[in-house]
A and B are shown apart, each in its own frame.
Chain A
């Protein structure tokens, strides 16, 4: 078997990070090596997805200890798709950050830390052990702490205090839930847990553990009412860092929620109602938050919260159709949110402002770029045939079939608010004429940069926009993948059999 393929995405990132540590002083070499490593990682992730898609679930028992005694790595379609998306987004961010972040800040080990972060993400997607998932979460948050404080400005440190506290609290809750689960079952392997948890007499304690998992992953994924730390901290770091946070860090929470609630705690009617209501409230409150913001990056942050609601709502309905919609939305959202914050970074470089009211003239000065930026913005709203449109069909269908009118209302409300907010942003930043722009001497503006650097800023956005276009125009392929993932999530027997080594 090609078992070792499964840890290659983790090992690749780890190797790049270590090689980069040897080039601590040589920033230029770090930029090149980081980009090359990201390209290799895309191929590794692609071959993993290819192998999983054609041959079924791949497992690896670390150290040869058979499950459930050792640590298991599992690649099913869901995790390998997430690994591929992660490597696509990280490539774009790696290129973007090599230009957008100042040399003085890159000197503090930005690139090694970046690859440790991606390694943690890949590990979280591929592990099949609940305690190992906790360890990967810690790898992720420790790297993200370095990123969020990089620069050490006042607003960053204040954002970091909030980000740190909530994430550490979530980790403690995660560990508490693991302790309860281990006390009940004596196992940490997720596939083993999914069988043992059904035989527990005391279902009350199991429900408590499920609720604690919901809260801790809810904090990470920023669902209502646990999202308040996100808009307060995501706008403070550099644009490239916000992009990787927005695209991947909240989504790993969503991934963990979907994984845990489909495999271990299959939600009953009550839990479905709770999760669906949380999804609806996330949509409404995130949308309302975005509505009142004039700060561009804060508005984007609230849009992250708002759109998390689509996936949580899809999980809450827990039918094959709803999960297909939720997974499709997750695929679309990772690429799009990364792109959105990169665009925010370029707009800041062009105008020197983050307040929408003070922007303007973008369309008349940069018509081609504006059209490029329009692709992701329109996808975000869900204009057919772009990528945001397709998952919503399934989500609406599932919500109507489930007779969940609150969720139907929230889905419509969320889409409408997104349309309104993006339209307002477009007219303020792109179409408005503004002759009173102030030139700030301490900002390096877009037009002051050499041509090569300008290209390196735009290329990642172009790349991610092309991926978004593919997700929209090649929706049939993506839909087939999403449908297959939803099938695997609804029927976890193949997953359990693959991990436990049972021949069907």
Chain B
């Protein structure tokens, strides 16, 4: 399971960076989304994967013993997903406005800020 997730994380990072280096605005956004998902999976992976052991203390025990699934990475991912959702929503509105005003999808033609 770890191996599969590691490969997926690597692929998502590679795909995200590749797409961000393309010249199209749309591909830029898709690259950012890929990177965001890659990071979330990375947090999940590095928090150690444990199957079927929720971190619940039994009635008979006072402390949690044995191997259990760490709840912190899941809380982190939840926060990160919500934040990246907000960012992506903004990004999509931004590129739509930018496309209407600049009238091009090509990042190389977005260079008004370099002039003057």
Contacts and interface: CB of A to CB of B under 8 A. Distances in A.
Interface of A: 131, 135, 138, 142, 145, 149, 152-155, 157-162, 164-165, 168-169, 171-172, 175-176, 178-180, 182-183, 186, 188, 232-233, 235-236, 295, 355
Contacts of B35: 169, 172
A165 B32 contact: yes
Contacts of B46: 179-180, 182-183
Contacts of A158: 98, 102, 110-113
A160 B87 contact: no
Given A172-B36, A180-B46, A154 B101 contact: yes
Contact of A179 (B39, B107, B110): B39
Given A138-B83, A232-B114, A149 B42 contact: no
Contacts of B86: 138, 142
A438 B43 CA distance: 58
B74 interface: no
A66 B94 CA distance: 42
A142 B98 contact: no
Given A158-B112, A232-B114, A183 B47 contact: yes
Contact of A182 (B28, B43, B91): B43
B14 interface: no
6 contacts: A131-B76, A161-B95, A161-B98, A168-B87, A172-B35, A172-B36
A249 B91 CA distance: 20
A175 B113 contact: no
A180 B98 CA distance: 35
Contact of B102 (A131, A154, A186): A154
Given A178-B43, A179-B39, A295-B116, A152 B72 contact: no
Contacts of A186: 70
B102 A157 contact: yes
A149 B97 CA distance: 10
Contact of B97 (A142, A152, A155, A169): A152
Given A154-B112, A165-B28, A172-B32, 7 more contacts: A145-B90, A154-B102, A161-B95, A168-B87, A175-B43, A183-B46, A183-B48
B72 A161 contact: no
Contacts of B94: 145, 149, 157, 160-161, 164
B80 interface: yes
B39 A175 contact: yes
A148 B18 CA distance: 27
A171 B84 CA distance: 10
Contacts of B87: 138, 142, 168, 171
A175 B44 CA distance: 12
Given A135-B83, A145-B90, A182-B72, A157 B97 contact: yes
Given A176-B39, A180-B46, A164 B113 contact: no
> Which 7 pairs across A and B sit closest by C-beta, in order of nearness?
A183-B46, A179-B43, A157-B98, A175-B39, A232-B113, A179-B42, A172-B35
Contacts of B107: 161
A221 to B, nearest CB: 20
A176 B95 contact: no
B113 A176 contact: no
A157 B87 CA distance: 16
Interface string B24-47: 010010001001100100110111
Contacts of A235: 113
A178 B112 CA distance: 36
A206 B25 CA distance: 35
A169 B76 CA distance: 18
Contacts of A176: 39, 42
Contacts of A180: 46
B114 to A, nearest CB: 7
Contact of B98 (A131, A135, A160): A160
Contacts of B90: 142, 145, 164
A165 B26 CA distance: 12
Contacts of A171: 87
B85 to A, nearest CB: 11
Contacts of B43: 175, 178-179, 182
B20 A165 contact: yes
B102 to A, nearest CB: 6
Contacts of A232: 113-114
Contacts of A236: 113
Contacts of A152: 97, 101
A355 B113 contact: no
B52 to A, nearest CB: 21
Contacts of A295: 116
Nearest to B43: A179
A188 B72 contact: yes
Contacts of A168: 32, 87, 91
Contacts of B113: 155, 158-159, 162, 232-233, 235-236
A180 B73 CA distance: 12
A261 to B, nearest CB: 22
